[in-house]
């Protein structure tokens, strides 16, 4: 039996395959072309009106039903679906993400042993040397046209930077800090505390920690993974940079021990409150350093 598929995303016109996909390539049309018995697309944007016109001119009205509204509010034409497809990921994986909506749809509509694409997500962290840009972003407040604005440095440190990091800037080996299995995880799992260890690859300075995520489609005929890390091709998610208050002077083989805490903001659950505790493990008393920084992604 061909599958009944539920397809939804932040914008219905976002490409399912992020890299090298033509513009306005909708997930729902891909699913119908792949042989789905019926496709249900859900989107809050008014652009879904144009999507319906495109469905009609392509002769797919009997295959695709498009609904405008929140996933939690719309009424589907089927009680259950066989597959859920969604491009739900945000910066730092969870910032402004729609994962809670995916999990709601999973629990309400997915048949037993149904499929989710993608079905696995992993957040990674690493330490980077980024002194020049840190001085530009944070040190800028020491002298603003001859005035001391240093009280704003603390505020600037709380704002993570979403930017592209060159692989040559990465000083430590990466480490996974969170893995989510979309078949089993819950909304409660999106608030987490995770210890991590970063092994220094070389003698260098560490000015910031960066985070990125990998996404897996394990149920495909051939398992597929794509990464948003500094080691691979550019994606619009880039990497998330968390500048540290202290500069860590590391030597090859030393470790940075830390704890990452993440939770949705109480006022706006699509925003994030992040805390990073860190300590350089070294036998050199002149380089010992530890601290904690709190960040707001909003």
- Out of 96, 129, 132, 246, the active site residue is 96
CB < 8 Å & 24+ apart, contacts of 27-33: 27/85, 27/87, 28/55, 28/64, 28/66, 29/54, 29/55, 29/58, 29/60, 29/64, 31/5, 31/7, 31/83, 31/85, 32/60, 32/63, 32/64
At 26, list the tokens.
Answer: 């909708």
SS in 3 state form for 238-253?
CEEEEEEEEEEEECCC
Residue 159: active-site member: no
- Out of 5, 12, 87, 129, the active site residue is 87
Residues with Cβ within 8 Å of 121's Cβ and at least 6 positions away in sequence, in order, are: 89, 93, 179, 180, 182, 213, 214, 215, 216
Q: Which residues pair with 179 in a beta bridge?
A: 122
Residue 96: active-site member: yes
SS in 3 state form for 132-168?
HHHHHHCHHHHCECCECCCHHHHHHHCCCEEECCCHH
Q: Residue 164: name the closest of 239, 275, 220 by CA.
A: 239
Angle at 84 between CA 80 and CA 89, to 5 degrees: 145
Q: What sign does the dihedral 37-218-173-206 (CA atoms) show?
A: positive
CA end-to-end span of the chain, whole Å? 44
**Residue 93 DSSP one-character state:** B
| Helices and strands, number each (H, E), in the chain | 5, 15
Residues with catalytic function: 87, 96
């Amino acid at each position: 039996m061909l599958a009944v598929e539920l397809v939804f995303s932040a914008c219905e016109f976002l490409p399912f395959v992020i890299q090298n996909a033509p513009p306005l390539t909708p997930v729902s049309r891909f699913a119908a072309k792949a042989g789905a018995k019926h496709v249900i697309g859900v989107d809050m944007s008014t652009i879904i009106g144009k999507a319906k016109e495109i469905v009609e001119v392509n002769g797919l009205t009997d295959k695709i039903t498009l609904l405008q509204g929140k996933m939690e509010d719309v009424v589907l034409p089927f009680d259950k679906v066989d597959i859920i497809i969604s491009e739900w990921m945000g910066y730092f994986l969870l910032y402004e993400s729609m994962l809670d909506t995916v999990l709601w749809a999973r629990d309400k509509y997915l048949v037993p042993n149904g499929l989710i694409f993608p079905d696995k997500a992993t957040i990674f962290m690493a330490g980077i040397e980024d002194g020049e840009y840190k001085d530009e972003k944070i040190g800028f407040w020491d002298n603003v046209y001859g005035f001391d604005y240093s009280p704003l440095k603390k505020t600037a440190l709380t704002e993570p930077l979403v930017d592209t990091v060159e692989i040559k800037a990465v000083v430590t080996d990466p480490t996974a800090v969170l893995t989510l299995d979309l078949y089993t995880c819950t909304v409660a799992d999106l608030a987490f505390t995770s210890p991590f260890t970063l092994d220094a690859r070389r003698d260098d300075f560490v000015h910031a920690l960066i985070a990125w995520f990998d996404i897996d489609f394990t149920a495909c005929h051939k398992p597929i993974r794509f990464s948003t890390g500094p080691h691979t091709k550019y994606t619009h998610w880039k990497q998330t940079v968390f500048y540290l208050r202290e500069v860590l002077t590391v030597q090859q083989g030393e470790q940075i021990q830390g704890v990452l805490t993440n939770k949705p903001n109480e006022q706006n659950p699509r925003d994030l409150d992040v805390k990073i505790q860190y300590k350089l493990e070294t036998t050199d008393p002149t380089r010992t350093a530890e601290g904690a920084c709190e960040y707001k992604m909003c």
